[in-house]
Amino acid sequence: MNRRTILIYTMVVVVLFTIPFSVTNTIRSTVKNAISPVLAILYQQSGIVRRFSIISANINSLPKENDQLSAEVTRLLVENSNLKEVAHENELLRNELNISGALSKRKLVGARIISRSAFVFQDIITIDKGSNDGLAVGQPVTSGGALMGKIINVGKDSSDVELITSSNAVTQVQLQNSRTFSILRGGIRGLVVEFIPQDVAATEGEMIITSGLGGEMRQGLTVGTVDRVISQKNEVFQRVSIKPAANISRADLVFIEINE
């Protein structure tokens, strides 16, 4: 290999490296738009592969998980029934006080995951809906009603979603019982809620919801539950690790909330 060839290859890498990120995203979107039908078919056909990984990962814990889920269903049925009563009472009180529905109307757009990042450790997925369906950067993406991530790049017929588990993801959240505002970060330590004052009692199982601060996401989207406090008592703020409510690694179908 002569010097000229080495120089040419180096130049190619340097040129690739200097392409701005916005242009790179456009190239990505264009390529993914072009091949999105193929990606969708392949992703749907990956059921056998997925089943294998689910079986291999969970075969021992299935009976225990089944018991836990049965108990959870019973608890949720009771909670749902109570919430229906509260909603009914809320409706009656609103009517009495002549308060019209203050919440803006939202539309849910369903989308299929068509691919995941080629980089093994990157938590970014691609979905088969884009700007043609009303999607825009920053919109929240949910699965099973719980927050999964937000849109970071939109093409015409496909979009990239950064999952809350990604190290770059920062989400404004709130502890549901104490109403304390804090910040959720993904990363190597797992999902961590930071900047909780030391005098706030964060209990195991407490629900974490989006706070609506920052304006990108509405208030009240379920994020997960408190797992345990991971900070020391002598730290200025508390940090707690949380369990995500959405099944992030196994979701097929996601929903995007769009304000009507």
Contact range with another protein by CB under 8 A, out of 40-48, 102-110, 175-183, 219-227: 40-48
Structure tokens at 37: 């039908």
Candidates 98, 156, 106; CA nearest to 127 is: 156
Instruction: Please state the closest distance from residue 122 (CB atom) to another protein, in A.
Output: 5
Residues 169-198 close enough to bind another protein by CB under 8 A = 186-188, 190-191
Distance CA 181, CA 208 (A): 10
**Which listed residue (7, 34, 52, 247) binds another protein by CB under 8 A?**
52
Distance CA 113, CA 98 (A): 43
Amino acid identity at 28: R
Query: Torsion over CA of 107, 110, 114 and 120, rounded to 10 degrees?
Result: 70
Structure tokens at 36: 């999105």
241 beta partners = 192, 228
Instruction: Please state the closest distance from residue 45 (CB atom) to another protein, in A.
Output: 7
Looking at the Cβ atoms of 110 and 187, the one nearer to another protein is 187
Residues 61-120 close enough to bind another protein by CB under 8 A = 114-120
134 binds another protein (CB under 8 A): no
Element at 92 (helix H, strand E): helix 62-97
Looking at the Cβ atoms of 15 and 86, the one nearer to another protein is 15
12 binds another protein (CB under 8 A): yes
Instruction: Please state the closest distance from residue 68 (CB atom) to another protein, in A.
Output: 20
32 CB-contact burial (10 Å; exposed 0-12 / middle 13-18 / buried 19+):
buried
Residues that bind another protein (CB under 8 A): 1, 5, 9, 12-17, 19, 21, 24, 27-28, 31, 35, 38-39, 42-43, 45-46, 49-50, 52-53, 56-57, 114-124, 126, 152, 160, 162, 165-168, 186-188, 190-191, 249
